[in-house]
Amino acid sequence: MENRTPIHNFEIVAFSNLTTNRPLFFTLFFFIYLIGLLGNIVLIICVITDVHLHKPMYIFLSNLSAVDMIFTSSTIPKLMDILLTGNNSISFVECFTQMCFYLFAASTEDMLLSFMAYDRYVAICKPLYYHLIMNRGSYLLFLLGIWMSAYVNTLLLTLNIYQIGICQSDKIQHFFCEIKALDRIACANTRLHPILYFEIIVLGFFPFLLSLSSYINIISVVFSITSTAGRKKAFSTCTSHLTVLGMFYGAGMCMYLKPPSEHLEEQDLVFSTLYTAVTPMLNPIIYSLRNEEVKVAMKKTIICIVH
């Protein structure tokens, strides 16, 4: 008979067994979190205050920064608390809240990056129609659809795992309440695998295909440009996004599509850290270094903040 005794508290196992290296890991994650938070806040302020950045590409970018802050703020603070105090306990409500925000950020970023790729496709491949296709009404509708779809998806997933129940263990083999880690301790014969595979196809594979097809078209158009200067200019408008896209999907695929292995949990920790902490920290840095308009706006904003 399956034990379905309700669990009111969980223990987050990953990093909790550290003894000597706790201060080092705490410092590392603290700076990752701080740099990511400050970088994304500055980027959002730049887009809001600089009229030159009131374009669809930068509006999408400011939304990406907001999502990245949700990513890091939903996972890293609890990890830092574990490393600082050794308290690896998390209540049922806190755990599901953390998972909810994580799923919401992941779903939103996945769709947002694909629409950012589509924006670059329209700008480079159909420049004469760009202002017609990506007008204010269109991109605001895209954004509303992205955020609402992510919300509905998160709600359905959270309700599903809540109904399935957690009864095999109170130990989460991860550094936050990640859905795969909770699925491993879900009640037997009622796992989330079919739902997760559906998620991967609908909110993973389809957005990835949209991004991939956009960049295949972009590359074919860029290589047809005879002028070297023109080709360089066309590439410079999308290299930042392509780099971010590669990091996000690379880490996500390694985390959710890799075959089972002996070191599955250890690998999940590495790729989850890249997915939820390192990539959100690097995103504003990549965009500010690779995009002249963002670079100029960020310099102005930082000078205003300092003075």
Q: What is the pLDDT of residues 164-188, one digit of tens each?
A: 777 767 888 888 888 888 877 877 6
Query: Residue 219, class by beta-carbon neighbours within 10 Å (0-12 exposed, 13-18 middle, 19+ buried)?
Result: middle
Looking at residue 262, its pLDDT comes to 47
Query: Residue 174, class by beta-carbon neighbours within 10 Å (0-12 exposed, 13-18 middle, 19+ buried)?
Result: buried
Q: How far apart are CA 243 and CA 248, in angstroms?
A: 9
Looking at residue 41, its pLDDT comes to 92
Q: Which residue has the higher pLDDT, 63 or 237?
A: 63
**Closest by CA position to 179, among listed 82, 251, 254, 102:** 102
**Local confidence band at 1 (pLDDT 50, 70, 90 cut-offs):** very low
Q: Which residues of 138-155 are buried (b: 16+ CB within 10 A; e: fewer)?
A: ebeebbeebbeebeebbe
Q: Which residue has the higher pLDDT, 262 or 154?
A: 154
pTM for the full predicted model: 0.88
- Tens digits of residue pLDDT in 93-121: 898 899 999 999 988 998 999 999 999 89
Q: How far apart are CA 109 and CA 278, in angstroms?
A: 15
Q: Write down the H helix ranges in the chain.
A: 22-49, 56-85, 92-125, 130-133, 136-164, 179-184, 193-200, 206-223, 228-236, 239-256, 264-273, 279-290, 292-306
Looking at residue 67, its pLDDT comes to 94
Q: Which residue has the higher pLDDT, 253 or 99?
A: 99
For residues 188-193, average pLDDT? 57
Task: Decide if pLDDT at 204 tops 80.
Answer: no
Measured at the CA of 186, the angle between CA 184 and CA 187, to 5 degrees, comes to 130
Q: Is-contact 207 111, C-beta < 8 A?
A: yes
Q: How far apart are CA 88 and CA 171, in angstroms?
A: 10
Residue 172, CA distances (Å) to 91, 226, 252, 275, 306 in order? 12, 56, 20, 18, 43
